[in-house]
Chains A and B, each alone.
Chain A
Amino acid sequence: MKEITAIALNTFKEAIRNRILYVILIFALLLILFSGVLSQLTISDRLQLIKSLGFAAINLFGVAIAVFVGVSLVYNELEKKTIYTIVSKPIGRWQFLLGKYFGLLLTVWVNVLIMTLFFLISVHYNVGAMQGGGLASTLLASIGRGLLNLVAWNAFEPTQNLMFVIVVTCMELAIVTAFAILFSSFSTPTLSMFFTVLTFVAGRLNEHIIRFADTVLERARDEALAAAAPLTKPFAYWFAIGAAHVVPNLGAFHRSVTQAIYQNEVTLWPGTILYGVLYTAGILCLAILIFSRRNFK
């Protein structure tokens, strides 16, 4: 445990020195702050738009951080041969990989926390501005409320349920980070990035894969009825159903965002969080499995 913590903290320190992290973070913060300006274009509830943009920015740039920083973590150790100094010590490969994962996850979550703080301040500031508050006083009050909101999640009406959704987003990012580590453990950064992004896209479209399976089955049923023949489920159906089970269901985590913005009530099946934990653990085990058999030469 001590070893994992040491590697994780070291990974975190290394990651926060990465310039690309700051570029991504600045873009995210700009988008969050810009949401207030963009919301002027709507004709209805401006807060909905601010929240929508804020959540999207946190999620999208969280994924970007996990991908861009994560894919080169293990590769760099191998490329620079620094891994020899680590594995020559009494540290298992699994500890090394878990340390890398938790270090990267800490980096992602810390960045999410920063973006969340800006997001909350932005929401509070816009609420204050809509009520006609002065610039300085509203900004100061918003900073205070935003900081308090990080601790007291539902202390203010406009930010009700937002922190809960952020936690759910963190779970989603934990899965994406695990994939970044998995691909990074056996591939080059470019390919790892490609694989991780594709996995993310497929995970987000998991629901569509199920719908596709249903459509295939429906078509097969119609054909069977027309030919008065017994129904044989086609290969495409089984493939799609199999894929829907294998590919991470990231859409399940994202559904709470819609609820938080438009329905004022977030309901999340507790199994979703358990699914996220089990899936992440499974992917990490797979990564350890591959990494433990990898030849460092």
Chain B
Amino acid sequence: MKRWGSFTALLAVTIALLGGAMRLQSEQIFRWRLIPFKFRDTLYLPSSEYVRAVSVGYDVFMSDFLWLRMIQVFAASWTTPDSPETMKHYFDIITDLNPYNTDVYKFAILAVGEEHKRHDMVKEIVNKGIQHNPLDYHIPYEGASYAFMSMEDLDQAKLYVRMAKLDPNYPDFIDRWEGYFDIRQGRYEAAYSKFFREYIEAILADNPQLFDILRTQLNRAMDEWFKSVIREAAVAWHDRTGQWPSVDELNAAGAFQGVRLPDVQFVRGALQTAIEHDQGSGPLPPEQMDALIDRGVKTFDFLPLAPYDFIDPRYQGYVIWPYYYEDNPERFVLAEIKAAQTMGLLASSVESRIQAYRDAHRGQCPPTLEALLGEEAALFTEHRDPFGGQWTWDPATCQLGSTSFPSLIELGQLDVR
């Protein structure tokens, strides 16, 4: 009985002590919750030499733990770590311990590059990655994306693309980046030659998945080449006369004499021939391929047809739209098809505004475009359309039109011939 009594007493004391401790802990929890949490990385990492020594040969294991820590530090501080140096320090140690984890390089590019625009650090990261993983396309590919999108350094991007291509298993699309960068750099002929070659190779290799992609890229290279020549001639004309010319006027004035341009008809013919001889013809000898591509470029005395759509060349010219010149001097020369699409889009947007106006005004049409669009109406009242016609507004029918295409809504069908 006495034994049970002492046991019960001890149990009661234990419960009282633990209960008191828990009560205090509850109070502490309440107090902690009142303090807003701010993440602060408390892990001190010395240089990788020491971390490596401490890891006692478990380099990969240690590197993976620090990798998790790096992710947490980045995420916990909600994508704004104290400094890019912290992230770079983590990166250095992790990749010194194990330089083969390519995800760390990609993540570090994001952490110090995308978030902090530290181009110098990104270059270091990519170069280290390439040095240790020369046959892995992932790191130079990320580097090329970053160099193109954030650094806007196309030469650097092209260098990384070439390094990515050292990987025997690099994906096809990396091939086309170089050509794309060439277009962006104004190296149209280089891009054109590249895409022309690849397109024919794709046909001969019977790779239909690539046909459309490469045709689009080849079109783009030729299109940009044409537009750059027209832009240059139009700006020179404008500087001389103070007026914007039409493409026909430039042509008639001999602005395109002796200019190297892709021969659209030849390209179409060559591709048609390649398609017809596709079956079992095998790869073309390199010299024949070079000759074919070279013959696709001609010195013209007049502007040849626009390249749109090799099969059905419905839209054959370019227009100069001075309205675009001030906002975007790169875009004021448009292919006819693009100009027509732009007019169609403008008409659609005005149409929806008209509908909203009518809903708000008991079905009445706006009396003027100014009443409908306010200051934006200047586009239609003070400027001509891309084809040189005048914009028109009929309040009786609630219709936006132009003298080039009286019924713009039908432009949705894109029948502008």
Contact size range, A: 20 to 34
Q: Which of B56, B57, B67, B107 has the most CB of A within 10 A?
A: B57
B107, A250: Cβ atoms under 8 Å?
no
Least distance between A105 CB and chain B CB atoms (Å): 21
A53 within 8 A of B: yes
Q: Which of B53, B60, B103 contacts A208 (CB 8 A)?
A: B53
Which residues of A are found within 8 Å of B106, using beta-carbon distances?
44
Chain A residues near B7 (CB-CB < 8 A): none
Determine if B61 and A262 form an interchain contact, defined as CB atoms under 8 angstroms apart: no
- Interface size on B (CB < 8 Å)? 20
Asked if A56 contacts B59 (CB within 8 A), the reply is: no
**Among A53, A200, A205, A262, contact of B98 (Cβ-Cβ < 8 Å):** A262
- What CA separation (Å) do A203 and B57 show in the bound complex? 9
Q: How distant is B412 from chain A, measured CB to nearest CB, in Å?
A: 43
Report whether B71 and A41 are in contact in the complex, using a CB–CB cutoff of 8 Å.
yes
Residue of A whose beta carbon sits closest to that of B67: A42
Measured CB to CB, the closest approach of chain B to A263, in angstroms, equals: 6
A window 227-265: CB within 8 A of B: 250-251, 254, 257-258, 261-263
Q: How far is the CA of A262 from the CA of B101 in the complex (A)?
A: 6
Give min CB distance, A208 to chain B, whole Å.
Answer: 6
B64 (CB) vs chain A CBs: closest residue: A52
CB distance from A138 to the nearest CB of B (A): 24
Question: CB distance A48 to B101 under 8 Å?
Answer: yes
Is B100 close to A, CB under 8 A? yes
B59: chain A residues at CB < 8 Å are: 254, 258
Interface residues of B in 49-99 (CB under 8 A from A): 52-53, 56-61, 64, 67-68, 71-72, 98
Distance, CA A214 to CA B342, complexed state (A): 69
Residue ID in chain A nearest B106 by CB atoms: A44
The interface residues of chain B lying within 8 Å CB-to-CB of A43 are: 71, 103, 107
A258 to B60, CA, bound (A): 6
Known: A48-B101, A208-B53, A262-B100. Is A41-B60 also a contact (CB below 8 A)? no
Interface residues in B152-187 by Cβ distance below 8 A to A read none
Interchain CB contact under 8 A, B71 and A257: no
**Partner among A42, A48, A262 whose Cβ is within 8 Å of the Cβ of B71:** A42
Question: Considering only CB atoms, which chain A residue lies closest to B104 in the complex?
Answer: A44
Does B53 lie within 8 Å of A205, measured CB to CB?
Answer: yes
Apart from A208-B53, A263-B100, 12 more pairs, CB < 8 Å = A42-B67, A44-B107, A48-B101, A48-B103, A52-B60, A55-B60, A250-B57, A254-B58, A257-B60, A258-B100, A261-B60, A262-B98
